[in-house]
Amino acid sequence: MPTVRSPHGEAVALVDHHIHGVVTANLNRAAFELLISESGRPAPAGTSHFDAPVGLALRRWCGPVLGLDPRASPDAYIERRGQLGADAVNRLLLSSAGLELLFVETGHRTDEVASPPEMAALARADAFEVVRIEAVAESLARAIVEIGGDTAGWLSGVQAELEKAALSAVGFKTIVAYRHGFDLPVVRPPRRAVTGALDAWLSGRVGEDRLRLEAPVLIAEVLHQALEIAAAHGLPVQVHAGFGDTDLDLHRADPVVFTPWVRVAASLGVPVVFLHCYPYHRQAGYLAEAYANVYFDVGCILNYAGPSAGRVLAEALELAPFTKLLYSSDAFGLSELAYLGAVQFRRHLAAILDAFVDTGECGRDDAERFARLVGSENARRLYPVDRACRHRPVAAAPAGVPDRW
Amino acid sequence: MPTVRSPHGEAVALVDHHIHGVVTANLNRAAFELLISESGRPAPAGTSHFDAPVGLALRRWCGPVLGLDPRASPDAYIERRGQLGADAVNRLLLSSAGLELLFVETGHRTDEVASPPEMAALARADAFEVVRIEAVAESLARAIVEIGGDTAGWLSGVQAELEKAALSAVGFKTIVAYRHGFDLPVVRPPRRAVTGALDAWLSGRVGEDRLRLEAPVLIAEVLHQALEIAAAHGLPVQVHAGFGDTDLDLHRADPVVFTPWVRVAASLGVPVVFLHCYPYHRQAGYLAEAYANVYFDVGCILNYAGPSAGRVLAEALELAPFTKLLYSSDAFGLSELAYLGAVQFRRHLAAILDAFVDTGECGRDDAERFARLVGSENARRLYPVDRACRHRPVAAAPAGVPDRW
Amino acid sequence: MPTVRSPHGEAVALVDHHIHGVVTANLNRAAFELLISESGRPAPAGTSHFDAPVGLALRRWCGPVLGLDPRASPDAYIERRGQLGADAVNRLLLSSAGLELLFVETGHRTDEVASPPEMAALARADAFEVVRIEAVAESLARAIVEIGGDTAGWLSGVQAELEKAALSAVGFKTIVAYRHGFDLPVVRPPRRAVTGALDAWLSGRVGEDRLRLEAPVLIAEVLHQALEIAAAHGLPVQVHAGFGDTDLDLHRADPVVFTPWVRVAASLGVPVVFLHCYPYHRQAGYLAEAYANVYFDVGCILNYAGPSAGRVLAEALELAPFTKLLYSSDAFGLSELAYLGAVQFRRHLAAILDAFVDTGECGRDDAERFARLVGSENARRLYPVDRACRHRPVAAAPAGVPDRW
């Protein structure tokens, strides 16, 4: 697959600009299946989450890394995983993904998964942190409620925490699509409305440990704060878009609905990076073409679409400049998803660009250049990798890119 | 096409889980053309509804069943149809479709088309009834208005009729997409609002024979009733989604807009089956992945898209589990559409799965299993075919699957 | 590519039913790049608008017309363009596009680009004018404001200007998608609301030269006026839909959101022609199937999608009748885009229809007939080309279709 190789022939190492930690404990089949579906539930009686496109792709590509046949059954796969143990599996799969850099988002089920330094060690590649804005805001709310503190301190506290995070993080991430939807009014809410919503949220909730940031005025205020801080520190803001779990109304996660916020970010000079986007990846491509500050990826749909991932990636490349698409696996929990994401991205990008070359749409030099842009250089140009805190794998040579690429 | 064959080599008989009755009268070209377009009108002057993708596919695949060349002209096709007579044509086409079961929706222009027992006889396959919720509600409204009865009896009457229907039907169907759109408030309306809307609808309309259920609170109330009854009887609820005739605003028929109702149905344990869905079939696939109780088909678009049907079916299979997609023709009026639906589904599903096998995405055993799931087993698992009233073809052996498959 | 040839073998000349004037001045690279992006801005630092699909296609197809290699660099292309001079380039590219008729929309940056007669001369093909409704309304507003005239005259003035335009134009065009979005209330606004909005818009603005028609009631009133005048004169109304520059919220430009207006137009007998439509081209195809008065094209996305244009065109042909799709380049400013649009349309339509023939979906006679319909005959049937004012190229033989087709 020459188009994911450099002019000198070696495969391009990827920047996975949005990944979560992997579970470090062993997993039985039921627990494993929960991590290959957005449903958050077991498959209906008599069925299995393996009987989905992601199940096919996972068996095909991850099985051989663990020494199995590509057609091994789900049970055989889980058994083999158990024999090797989670740590060996995670090291095998993550270090086989051919990653150069990992940007690890740390705001989702943080205590259950590996941290950025741990991810660096497993993948034998440098890791950076992406800070989830809502997690910062909710963590502080819990702290205030726990100690019965003054809720009025929340706003300034969030600002201070985000400022602090901006000194080490490589970017921010927002899940506003989950917490309200992109139809969030962009006008900055008046201070009185913010403090009113804050009181309604936090007053009298001492001892509660689940506090969700859901009031629109609070989300908007925090988002405005984060954009200003991102502007001051040169950080891009990642934005979950498109499909996800059942906590989301899909049509309200269409990135074009976020256009008014894109314009605000543009006025501040802040890049906005839409993540995943399916089935609105064409819309994301349009935004990337029309707005200088918009970037995007198709993230985990390359895993979830399994055999059909190539069509989705091809559509993402219909209108978007080659300078605006990035790579991410959006893997959460399973190192399989980090490895599979890299496999799917490499082989389908190569197929698309090779077809361009074969049908005369462009020369091989251009195709190879686009592969490097999308796989690595766009992310390196966009994110402050020279300033942000870099977690290096300790006591091990970088993984490099396996020969198989 | 081995992937629509069982491991023993024979073709899989299909469950057409959503079909309407066919017209039993002979049809001239003008009447025929009206049944191959969603416009409900003749084509513009100087043009023909045959000059559309569905026209090409119909000529290609149905012509030979009637003894014509695949390239026979529309006039030749209509002439041949007339020579054979509607009954022979219907028997030929329906019994050639390779159907195992038909679920016949009886709520649309019921008096003009064949009933479930008649459809069973024509197709030489067992037929079940799907009851359209709105048709029940409107029929009762007409009965009350005709006799000048008390409108207050409507609500309890609808409940009683749906309860009764649930004893024999294999499922319910709703056309809320046509009558309001999926942005119907999901909160159960207060009784006072319901009776107020009922009075406004029915009072003083003695003698009117066209009563459309259109008030949002009435639609919502009836839908809540139907979901509860479906829960009690283990019935799935079919939901028209996506494209249809000009009675519909397409964007309000995007299935993701119905998500709040999907969650209500989930809480009651009621499966929701989105029908057709185009151009929102990817959205339907997402819902099927994320919600354990969501199923879907791409129905009549496989007919309407003619030569391009394969792309639509492939997109429907991008994200959705293979355990969640069903087959339907959604044929109305023309037995051609029932036959063509089966042809299009079989050949395009086979092409997709064969490509999976050929490119190593899965093994042939998996591909054959998926074909059986999608073509038949998903529907048999989902619907209460063992309890519901079954109409058997009288005095004729089952059609079986023609050798040509 | 036989399917864009007539039965006698010659290539079909195209009707470009929506094109703008080209810039007649020479362009440096920066100015040129601004015309191949919807962003209206230079590409981000370190990147180029050439590194997008449209850049690849432009280099590949336009380079050879100017005597360059298909892989010539952007700098080489711009240099060669400068050597030849804008006039020679425009003549070369426009006369090589194989156009029969051009319908030139004159309402955008009118002073910077060639007029319809100039376009006729450059392309050596007959040109007609399409009048932009909003440009008429804004021009009159400026005139009133300049002379401090009575704002009350605006409404009758717009009507008079549109009536006058209808005598010579081949069609109207509206950019309501840019000025409000398609969710514009369709009920005709009361006169009092119109005069109130008019006063608010124009009073006290003497000397201002930028007046944008943005008040919803004014846009709606003008649109109703235009539809009535179009009805009286037998003119279609073109409607920008889908992607465009940053002046637009994409989801509000989904053509199905305009359905209530489509129904009003249908009641008046006015054809509505949706332009571009991406990524809502499937939605446009649905409207074209369901509504007798709806037509559409995919316009400039065939340029912008470069190597991937075939997929978009194929999707546009999924559901739509072959009698409802039209061809346009939507070129603005660059003759490259007019030429490239024709190349992309011809080669991808040919590929789609050839595949239909090769796989038995239709016969070659049907395929050739569809190519003529879509490329030329649908437009000639729809627009009043026999009545509207025709600008003929002076003193030069028609360009005809180059042998290369």
* Per-residue pLDDT reduced to its tens digit, C12-27: 899 999 999 999 999 9
Beta-ladder partners of A276: A241
User: What is the number of other CB atoms lying within 10 angstroms of the CB of residue B386?
Assistant: 7
pLDDT for A382 beyond 70: yes
pLDDT for A397 beyond 80: no
pLDDT for A8 beyond 60: no
Give me the pLDDT at residue A205, please: 80
pLDDT for A7 beyond 70: no
Report d(CA B305, CA B297) in Å as an integer: 15
pLDDT > 90 in chain A, percent: 87
Give every strand in the sheet of A294-296, ordered side by side. Answer: A14-19, A99-105, A126-132, A171-174, A237-241, A272-276, A294-296
Give me the pLDDT at residue C405, please: 47
pLDDT for B92 beyond 80: yes
Give me the pLDDT at residue A40, please: 92
Comparing CB atoms, the residue among C256, C317, C356 nearest residue B250 is: C256
Q: In this structure, what are the phi and psi dihedrals at residue B92, rounded to the nearest 5 degrees? A: -60, -50
The verdict on A379 touching C (C-beta cutoff 8 Å) is: no
* A206-216 average pLDDT score: 84
B275-323 per-position pLDDT tens digit: 999 999 999 999 999 999 999 999 999 999 999 999 999 999 999 999 9
C230-239 per-position pLDDT tens digit: 999 999 999 9
Strand, coil or helix: what is A391? strand
Beta-ladder partners of A391: A127
Q: Which two tokens stand for residue C119?
A: 């376009």
Q: How confident is the model at residue A59 (pLDDT cuts 50, 70, 90)?
A: very high
Beta-ladder partners of A238: A173, A273
Report d(CA B60, CA B243) in Å as an integer: 24
Q: Measured between CA atoms, how close is A311 to chain C, in angstroms?
A: 10
Q: How confident is the model at residue B396 (pLDDT cuts 50, 70, 90)?
A: low
The verdict on A43 touching B (C-beta cutoff 8 Å) is: yes
> Which chain C residues are Cβ-neighbours of A361 within 8 angstroms?
56-57, 60, 306-307
B42-74 per-position pLDDT tens digit: 999 999 999 999 999 999 999 999 999 999 999
* C381-386 average pLDDT score: 98
Q: How confident is the model at residue B9 (pLDDT cuts 50, 70, 90)?
A: very low
Give me the pLDDT at residue A395, please: 60
The verdict on C3 touching B (C-beta cutoff 8 Å) is: no
Give me the pLDDT at residue C113, please: 95
Beta-ladder partners of B122: none
Q: Which two tokens stand for residue B266?
A: 């989930």
* B360-382 average pLDDT score: 97
pLDDT for A65 beyond 60: yes
Q: Measured between CA atoms, how close is C285 to chain B, in angstroms?
A: 10
Q: Please identify which residue in the block is written with the tokens 């020479």.
A: C26
* C288-301 average pLDDT score: 97
Contact A388, A128 (CB under 8 A): yes
Give me the pLDDT at residue C5, please: 46
Q: How many CB pairs under 8 A join A and C?
A: 92
Report d(CA A98, CA A371) in Å as an integer: 14
Comparing CB atoms, the residue among C243, C279, C306 nearest residue A361 is: C306
pLDDT for A399 beyond 70: no
Q: Please identify which residue in the block is written with the tokens 């406004």.
A: B200
Give me the pLDDT at residue C152, please: 83
**Better-scored residue on pLDDT, A16 or B204:** A16
Q: How confident is the model at residue C400 (pLDDT cuts 50, 70, 90)?
A: low
- Tell me which residues of chain C, numbers 256 to 295, contact chain B at a CB-CB cutoff of 8 Å: 256-257, 259-260, 263, 282-283, 286-287, 289-293
User: What is the number of other CB atoms lying within 10 angstroms of the CB of residue B360?
Assistant: 11
Contact A388, A169 (CB under 8 A): yes
C237-259 per-position pLDDT tens digit: 999 999 999 999 999 999 999 99
Contact C123, C95 (CB under 8 A): yes
Average pLDDT across chain A, whole number: 93
pLDDT for B403 beyond 80: no
> Which chain A residues are Cβ-neighbours of C250 within 8 angstroms?
256, 259, 283, 286-287
Q: How confident is the model at residue A394 (pLDDT cuts 50, 70, 90)?
A: confident
Burial class of A204 by CB neighbour count within 10 A (0 to 12, 13 to 18, 19+) = exposed
pLDDT for A23 beyond 80: yes
State the number of CA atoms in the 13 A half-sphere of B306 facing the CB.
Answer: 32
Comparing CB atoms, the residue among B256, B293, B318 nearest residue A250 is: B256
Give me the pLDDT at residue C1, please: 36
Burial class of A373 by CB neighbour count within 10 A (0 to 12, 13 to 18, 19+) = buried
Give me the pLDDT at residue C203, please: 85
pLDDT for C291 beyond 50: yes
Q: Which two tokens stand for residue C331?
A: 């070129």
Give me the pLDDT at residue A402, please: 59
- Tell me which residues of chain B, numbers 310 to 369, contact chain C at a CB-CB cutoff of 8 Å: 311-312
pLDDT for A405 beyond 80: no
* B126-152 average pLDDT score: 92
First to last CA, chain C: 7
Query: C145-153 long-range CB contacts below 8 Å, 24 or more apart?
Result: C145/C202, C145/C205, C145/C206, C145/C207, C145/C208, C145/C211, C146/C206, C146/C207, C148/C206, C151/C198, C151/C199, C151/C201, C151/C202, C151/C203, C152/C195, C152/C198
State the best of C182, C261, C281, C282 to mutate against chain B, taking most chain B CBs within 10 Å: C282
The one-character DSSP state at A300 is T
Q: How confident is the model at residue B8 (pLDDT cuts 50, 70, 90)?
A: very low
* C59-84 average pLDDT score: 97
Structural domains for chain C: 14-21+99-382 (3.20.20.140)
Contact A56, B360 (CB under 8 A): no
Q: Measured between CA atoms, how close is A353 to chain C, in angstroms?
A: 10
pLDDT > 90 in chain B, percent: 87
Q: How confident is the model at residue A24 (pLDDT cuts 50, 70, 90)?
A: very high
Q: How confident is the model at residue C9 (pLDDT cuts 50, 70, 90)?
A: very low
Q: How confident is the model at residue A111 (pLDDT cuts 50, 70, 90)?
A: confident
The verdict on B46 touching C (C-beta cutoff 8 Å) is: yes
Q: How confident is the model at residue B151 (pLDDT cuts 50, 70, 90)?
A: confident
pTM of the predicted model as reported, rounded to 2 decimal places: 0.96
* B129-155 average pLDDT score: 92
pLDDT for A15 beyond 90: yes
Least confident of C108-112, C188-192, C308-312: C108-112
Q: How confident is the model at residue B399 (pLDDT cuts 50, 70, 90)?
A: low
pLDDT > 70 in chain B, percent: 94
Q: Please identify which residue in the block is written with the tokens 């060669």.
A: C80
* Cα–Cα nearest to B163, from B226, B217, B222: B226
Interface predicted TM-score (ipTM) of this complex, two decimals: 0.95
Report d(CA C235, CA C229) in Å as an integer: 8
A357-368 per-position pLDDT tens digit: 999 999 999 999
State the number of CA atoms in the 13 A half-sphere of C82 facing the CB.
Answer: 11
pLDDT for B35 beyond 50: yes
Contact A349, A66 (CB under 8 A): no
CB spacing of A291 vs C39 below 8 angstroms: yes
Q: Measured between CA atoms, how close is A45 to chain B, in angstroms?
A: 10
